[in-house]
A = this chain, B = another copy of it.
Amino acid sequence: MNAVYSPPALFEQHQAEMLPAIETELKACVQAAYGAGLDDYAHMLAYHLGWEGEGHGPKAQGKRVRPMMVLLSAAAAGGDWAPTLPAAAAVELVHNFSLIHDDIQDNSQLRRGRKTLWVKWNVAQAINAGDALFALAHLALKRLDGRVPPERALAAHRILPQASLTLTQGQYLDLSYETRPDLTPADYWPMISGKTGALLAACAELGAALAGAPADRLADYRRFGELVGLAFQVYDDFLGIWGDAALTGKSAESDLLAGKKSLPVLYALEQDGAFAERWRQGPLAAEDLPAMTLQLEVEGAREYVQAEADRLTQEALAALTAAGPETDASLALEELARRLITRKA
């Protein structure tokens, strides 16, 4: 079998080509924010994006999953991915704006193993740095002008803010859930659909739309992206309890200790067993963790969450097939989807 037909090799080949292009495009977009007297402002943005400050480098930059999704979707839809780079940068900037604000809202001290922006500067400046990335995301799309036809650029201008808006709806639900005692797994799906599904749906749609995919295929690309996003988040909840905190780079705390109502917890609360009984008695202490983590597993939460991540990924792959991709970049998209639910961090 020729190596070129191996999805992992194909994915890595695309990644090797695309990641440097994404980074170059991101830097060109963020450059628009720099100016006289704004050194520290620029430094905040470059620090958060992993380009400057202690611990900068690929690990601090994150996986750039969303821009990869844009570019691979464009290639899968039979287009040239290079002209879609501004949209790839735009979604990554939206994602990073949301991370900065999320870290403030959740009082998180660490992100990708480094101090969060509000800890390193302050809350006021961190809110503003997030706003700057949000503005830069929308400004990035102007770099599509002249590289794609006007109608396609206008489609991108509809897709990006719609996804950003849906993101805030998901974030609203997530924040409001903190004080709600009566949540079930049914409440979970609209929340992650907003927080994680919407932007990945937009990525796949942006790639395909900018590549000129026919309108009736766009819904399939969207659905592929949305399902990949849901699987990604479900698996993130898995890692939040059964992952290695040193690898995820978040605070060295289980989601259980933080009291986060993630999918495993909501599943177990619905089972109404020993886990639920202890959970309802109040916050867990560090010494409760081993027994409670085991109890979750005993009650089937670990198996359920893993199965949900698998199911969603299978559904995503079916949506991708339905989209009728035109090139073997679709194999790289499949590989991306699989990697997101087998990663260690």
Chain A residues engaging chain B, CB cutoff 8 angstroms = 32-33, 35, 37-38, 40-41, 97-98, 101, 104-106, 123-125, 127-132, 134-139, 141-142, 145, 150-151, 153-154, 157-158, 160-162, 164-165, 167-169, 171-173, 175-176, 190
Q: Which residues from chain B contact A135 at a C-beta distance below 8 Å?
A: 134, 161, 164-165, 167-168
Known: A125-B176, A154-B157. 18 other contacts (CB 8 A): A33-B168, A37-B190, A38-B169, A40-B172, A104-B124, A106-B124, A124-B175, A131-B168, A132-B165, A134-B164, A135-B164, A136-B165, A138-B138, A139-B158, A139-B165, A141-B157, A142-B158, A150-B150
The answer to whether A131 touches B128 (Cβ under 8 A) is: no
Minimal Cβ-Cβ distance residue in B for A122: B175
Please give the distance in Å from A153's CB to the nearest CB on chain B. 6
- Indicate which residue in B123, B164, B172 contacts A41 across the interface (CB closer than 8 Å): B172
A176 and B142 alpha carbons, distance in the complex (Å): 30
The answer to whether B138 touches A161 (Cβ under 8 A) is: yes
Chain B CB within 10 Å, residue with most, of A123, A142, A168, A175: A168
Q: Which residues from chain B contact A175 at a C-beta distance below 8 Å?
A: 124-125, 128
- Indicate which residue in B40, B127, B168 contacts A132 across the interface (CB closer than 8 Å): B168
Q: Which residues from chain B contact A137 at a C-beta distance below 8 Å?
A: 161
Please give the distance in Å from A65's CB to the nearest CB on chain B. 21
The answer to whether B169 touches A41 (Cβ under 8 A) is: yes
A130 and B103 alpha carbons, distance in the complex (Å): 16
Minimal Cβ-Cβ distance residue in B for A133: B168
| A-B residue pairs, 8 tightest by C-beta | A138-B161, A105-B124, A135-B165, A135-B164, A139-B161, A132-B168, A41-B172, A150-B150
Would you mind naming 26 contact pairs between A and B with Cβ atoms under 8 Å apart? Answer: A33-B165, A33-B169, A35-B169, A38-B169, A38-B173, A41-B172, A98-B131, A105-B123, A105-B124, A125-B175, A131-B164, A132-B165, A134-B134, A134-B164, A135-B164, A135-B167, A138-B138, A139-B162, A139-B164, A139-B165, A141-B161, A142-B154, A142-B161, A150-B154, A154-B157, A157-B157
Please give the distance in Å from A128's CB to the nearest CB on chain B. 5
Q: Which residues from chain B contact A158 at a C-beta distance below 8 Å?
A: 139, 142, 145
A164 and B161 alpha carbons, distance in the complex (Å): 14
A285 and B22 alpha carbons, distance in the complex (Å): 54
Please give the distance in Å from A303's CB to the nearest CB on chain B. 29
A38 and B160 alpha carbons, distance in the complex (Å): 21
Chain B CB within 10 Å, residue with most, of A38, A128, A164: A128
A35 and B166 alpha carbons, distance in the complex (Å): 10
A131 and B131 alpha carbons, distance in the complex (Å): 8
Given A128-B105, A165-B132, A165-B136; A172-B32 close (CB under 8 Å): no
Please give the distance in Å from A28's CB to the nearest CB on chain B. 14
The answer to whether A128 touches B101 (Cβ under 8 A) is: yes
A164 and B105 alpha carbons, distance in the complex (Å): 22
The answer to whether A171 touches B101 (Cβ under 8 A) is: no
A157 and B145 alpha carbons, distance in the complex (Å): 11
A125 and B172 alpha carbons, distance in the complex (Å): 7
The answer to whether A131 touches B37 (Cβ under 8 A) is: no
